[in-house]
Structure 1
Amino acid sequence: MTPLPRHHSIFFLIMRRMRAPLILLIVIIAISVLGLTLAPGVDADGNPHKLSFFHALYFISYTATTIGFGEIPFAFSDQQRLWVLICIYMSVIGWAYTLGTVFALLADRNLQQAFAMQRFVGAVRNLREPFYLVCGYGETGGLICEALDRMGVRAVVVELDEAKVGEIELHSYAADVPAIAADARNPEILKFAGLTHPHCIGVIALTNDDSANLAIAIAARLLAPRLPALCRAESRDTAANMASFGTRHIINPFEKFAEYLGLALHAPNAWHLLGWLTGLPGTAVERHRDPPRGNWIICGHGRFGRLMAQTMEAQAVPVTIIDRQPPPEADQRWIQGDGTGAEALTAAGVDRAVGLVACTGSDVDNLSAAVTARELNPGLFVIVRQNLYVNRALFDAYDADIAVVPSQIIAHECLAILGTPLLAPFLQEVRQRGEAWSAALLDDLTTRYGWSVPMIWSERINLLRAPALQQRLMDGETVRIADVLCSPAGREESLPCTVAYLRRDDDDHVVMPGPDCPLRPGDELLLIGLPEARNALCLTLAYEHTLNYVLTGKDLPGGWVWERIAAHRNRAATARRVLP
């Protein structure tokens, strides 16, 4: 990692600020010592005597710092005492100025930032485990860091708002999260935060400024091209610019929800399945009623409203738009207003509508429109845009059918990409399968694991991740999926997990492989289940003793000594069998 440049040195910063008071103290001490050596005095016998430079320096040193002294080596004359009196007041003035400068320096914002930067850089430099660089600790960044902490993955945060950085220290994360209040658009800051650190495994740009996210994406592409970058972009121009620089994952929360809504309109079970699989780990997912087909009303025709209108028109769903300005498309039905009053909703046909989307940029207006619409039509399916996550108590109290929270959408998408890259192709398969297939799979999985978001992880069969199983497969032994999913605590029981996707190097991928599917070296498995299943499966794949038990039901002796004894007994038994 790149070290701090010279101008960031705290020592030189302090020395520059303390230059004037230190020079003043040196001058005061020098004048005091010189005057004391020149002042006439007498020795014990009354003979004339002057202090040497050493005695004068010694005397001034403890006098100027403590204002307490003894007259050495002989009692002072009146002239010496007069000079000492002047020296005392000069030293008091010098020290008062120096201490005032020190206190002002300690309160100086630049020095505090220098100390914070040095601590931050040291903490990042000392990281010896994989971590993600998270730029932006708003609502989305907080959700990402919390989810990464649950997954046991470290994070480093760069946030412009100093108050939000302080919130990180108050949060009860299992592992320390190094954080700094700085502008992530600065490439030097990104390097200090670990962009080029050997243990950095990805960059996540989640600020609410598209230009800042674009600058982070460009810096990541140029300084660390090997790292995956996940960037938030709410405008299509910014997303196109990021794509031109080779950014691998660009997330637009409004486009992502529009995609999910389109799926919900023609394949609601697939929509429920995707929502269950991409939720935040450990959270409970409630199954909502399916979005009905019929006349819909959209309140607000901004970026989100236009995407909603386009998605519904693509699904042949008639739409009426309520907005203060007419839509650019002349063929769309439009009512002038803001949707918060009954007059505009009635004119839009709320009594005949099946659904309403309140998608303005104001949470208050969205809730007002939703409440008024429900009063006019109690059976209305309501989708409400929640701009600020902190208003969740209000939206929970209203109980909309769907609350569109951009921060949650981005967090879910990021975790689906970061946590298990193999999940993305499986979700694509879900979108392409029929509604009946999705319904059967959703019912089977939720019956086994409930509606809480399950643990989703991947296992690759190789010498690094699964040495015991890899060795057996390379020796030509046939091992099925059902064999490795037996519980190490009792092979009569199966682990609470399901293999959802099997990817092979020869592109022979299998969706929901059966229990009798044989495994091959190099296979990568996507598993869905409970957390305890992951730990048990890791033991089975890595340790020969555990794998042998789940395959044969026999316990091998553990340890080098017992293995040698067992081998000796096997050779002896073999010899007895071959003797006549």
Structure 2
Amino acid sequence: MQNSSLWIVFHKMRMPFIVIILTYTISITGLLIIEGVDSNGNPYHMSIFDAFYFITYTATTIGFGETPYEFTYAQRLWVSFCVYLTVIGWFYGVGALISLLQNKMFLHEISRVRFKRQVKAIRKKYIILLGYNYITSEIIKRLLDADIRAVVIEKDEERVNSLILESYTPTVPVLLDNVHSPKSLEAAGISRLNCKAVVSLFNNDALNLRIGIVSKLLNKNITLAVKATHPKSVNNLNDINAEIIVNPFVTIANELKMAIQSPHLLKLEKWLYQIDTLDAHMPKLPIGRYIVCGFGRMGQSIYRTLKDEKEVDLFFIERNKKKLDGLSERELQNFIVADADDKEVLEQAGVKEAVAIVAFTNNDTVNISILATARKLNSSILTLAREDEMDDVSIFSNAQMNYLFMPSKIIINKITNALINPLADQFARCIMEKDEAWAMHLVKDLLQKIDNAPLLYEMTINEQEAPEVINFLEKSELMLSIFQVSLHNRHQHNNVIPLLLLRSDDTIVLPHWNMPIRQDDKILFACDAYAQNDIEYIAQNPYEFYYALTGEEKTIFKQRLFK
């Protein structure tokens, strides 16, 4: 049945309805059969309406008196019986109604109907988030700040209540249901045109993959933002064309590599994710022995990323021998099977000669203890820690770590940047292939031409965002340099640098100003607020576009001639 809540009402209230109808039928039939007398003493039989009217107010215990005439003793005896009969029927019906209103299945269906109405009322683009926790709550806040609506599906009632108590503005519709259910995703409007993405960030890679497959089957054009922590899971997600795949452990390993080899690349990445400014202090990590505590998913990512780097001598401590299966005898020479939270083990690993110790186990307390012991043995050692629990920030800050890596914050930054600023995310992936000299030159240009915190502005050359450019491209060729022009003085250039040009057949990093623009090009600019305003005016305002193109003010006569 399409309307499940209505079916539940019929199912649960069917017998109470039958009981009430039977009690009324019996009571009314008796009044119709029993003979009474009118005001003149003549025999009288009640009409169906009079009998129904009398039983209606009698059964509800209101009692307006005998009508239309005084009753005989026979009628009064029957009415006495009917009072008990109908009141019992009503008690049963009211009790069944109260039970229905407390029925979890019914309440769930009512909330589902309400949820569907709330989703249907959303006119702006929105994103479906599966599960509600600290990470998704932060993503919701950033989406709302970017004027993107959010819809949540969560199977835990306490977390649903927590979301409701947050009082997001605008309201975030939430459905209490299984996150991987196709019905839930359909209720969330996954097939709607303004539904842009599905976000699944569970710690279970198999669940994330299942959600990804179901989502793509329901809507092949939907954007998937998924967490994966194993290489095999990443490959499986790539097979179903998942657009955004976040592996926090690989990200941390890459950040370590950049901090050692290319600190300016790391500086650019942190600026793109709005974590730091371009002039923030970013010391280069030293070259030498790195003791890594833990060879789980994080440790394995570090090993795969840095094992071939000559500047880094990796040495691992892992207490679970099974995690070392598959390593060669030569590789095992850099491993100790022991508890890293042990003074003698750290000394055996060469902590006194090491330049850094990396505590990346999945236990925050153990990580702090390992680093405290290492510092006692080597006061100059660099300490790097992983923090899983967001509530323990104060503990780690008091421990005075040199570097603190938080997978949760990495996921938040990666996902929000990819959803809100997709070109910036694409640019961040492209610069991973560049070297330190390239990154240093770009940072220098951004600081000199703009400032220490340039704005990121994304634009698509289409009718909605750049109608004047589209009109001109129908008649002639136009260069990217049109967006460099200052509307205050055409002979001066705005503080702007094109970072990325994305077109169907090519991805161009740092495109030249003399590059021709094409329809549907996607362009990422680094600029200040004045340059962003000018770019928007040039793209959308015919007078400003004409001035930027010719250097002359556009009059009504010139407007007709120009057309």
**TM-score, length of structure 2 as denominator length:** 0.87
Matched, 1:314 2:313: no
Deviation at 1:60, TM superposition (A): 0.7
Q: Provide the secondary structure at the position in 2 that maps to 1:314.
A: coil
Return the alpha-carbon distance in structure 2 between the equivalents of residues 533 and 150 of structure 1: 22
The 5 A counterparts of 1:246-325 are 246-279=241-274, 287-316=281-310, 317-325=312-320
Report what 1:415 is aligned to.
Answer: 416
Report the counterpart of residue 537 of structure 1 in structure 2.
Answer: 535
1:54 to 41, 49, 54: 49
1:560 — aligned with what? none
Q: CA RMSD in A?
A: 3.2
* TM alignment of 1:21-420, pairs within 5 A: 21-279=16-274, 287-316=281-310, 317-326=312-321, 327-328=324-325, 329=327, 330=329, 331-420=332-421
Alpha carbons of structure 1 residues 214 and 503: separation in structure 2 relative to 1, 3 Å: closer
Alpha-carbon distance between aligned partners in 1 of 2:277 and 2:181, rounded to the nearest angstrom = 36
Give the letter for the 2:536 counterpart: C
> What is the rounded CA distance, in whole Å, between the counterparts of 2:76 and 2:490 in structure 1?
96
Distance in 2 (CA, whole Å) between partners of 1:175 and 1:543 is: 31
Q: 1:381 is matched by which residue type in structure 2?
A: L
Distance 2:434 2:91 in 1: 80
Cα deviation for residue 104 of structure 1 reads: 1.8
State whether residues 198 and 215 of structure 2, in contact with CA within 8 Å, keep that contact through their aligned partners in structure 1: yes
In structure 2, relative to structure 1, the CA distance for the partners of 1:486 and 1:176 (3 Å cut) is: farther
**Alignment: residue pair count:** 554
How far 1:471 moved relative to its partner? Answer: 3.0
What letter is aligned with 1:538? Answer: E
Contact 1:131 1:156 in 2 (8 A): yes
**1:224-275 Cα distance to aligned partner (Å, 9 max, x none):** 2223323212223333333333434432221222223223222121122112
Unaligned runs of 5+ in 2: none
Q: Is the 8 A contact 2:480 2:517 kept in 1?
A: no
Unaligned runs of 5+ in 1: 1-5, 558-562, 571-580
Query: Would you say the 8 A contact 1:42–1:49 is kept in 2?
Result: yes
Does the Cα contact within 8 Å between 1:138 and 1:207 map onto a contact in 2? no
- Cα distance in 1 between the residues matched to 2:27 and 2:134: 62
Contact 1:288 1:401 in 2 (8 A): no
Shift of 1:80: 2.5
Counterpart of 1:512, as a letter, is L
Alignment partners' CA distance in 2, 1:220 and 1:236:
21
Cα-to-partner distance string for 1:490-512 (whole Å, 9 max, x where unaligned): 768765543212345674x6533
Determine the structure 2 residue equivalent to 1:574: none
| Structure 2 partner of 1:512 | 510
* TM-superposed deviation, 1:42: 2.6
The verdict on how the C-alpha distance between 1:120 and 1:220 changes in structure 2, with shifts beyond 3 A counting, is same
Q: For 1:368 and 1:466, locate their aligned partners in 2 and report how far apart those are by CA, in whole Å.
A: 57
8 Å CA contact 2:201, 2:227 repeated in 1: yes
For residue 292 of structure 1, what is the amino acid of its counterpart?
A: P
Cα distance in 1 for partners of 2:18, 2:257 equals: 74
Q: Which residue of 1 aligns with 2:457?
A: 457
Say if 2:278 and 2:443, in contact at 8 Å, map to a contact too: no
Question: For residue 4 of structure 2, what is the aligned residue in structure 1?
Answer: 9
Measure the CA separation in 1 of the matches of 2:383 and 2:293.
11
- The normalised TM-score by structure 1 is 0.85
Q: 1:87 to 1:555 in 2, by over 3 A?
A: farther
2:538 and 2:544 in contact (8 A); partners too: yes
Q: Percent identity?
A: 31
Query: Does the CA-based 8 Å contact 1:474-1:521 persist in structure 2?
Result: no
Q: Cα–Cα, structure 1 residues 38 and 399, in superposed 2: closer, same or farther, change >3 Å?
A: farther
SS of 1:16 mapped into structure 2: helix
Distance in 1 of aligned mates of 2:2 and 2:505: 54
Q: In the superposition, relative to structure 1, how do residues 34 and 265 fare at CA in structure 2: closer, same or farther (>3 Å)?
A: same
Give a deviation string over 1:5-59, Cα, whole Å, max 9, x none. x254211211211112221111221122122233443322233433222211111
Q: Within 1, Cα distance between the matches of 2:278 and 2:81?
A: 78
Deviation by residue 1:428-485 (Cα, 9 ceiling, x = unmatched): 4423333123123224435777666x5433223344431213334554476552x434
| Distance change >3 Å, CA 332–CA 567, structure 1 → 2 | closer
1:280-328 Cα distance to aligned partner (Å, 9 max, x none): 6x99996443222111111122121222233332223222322323444
Compute the displacement of 1:113 (Å): 0.9
Q: Give the match's secondary structure for 1:76.
A: coil
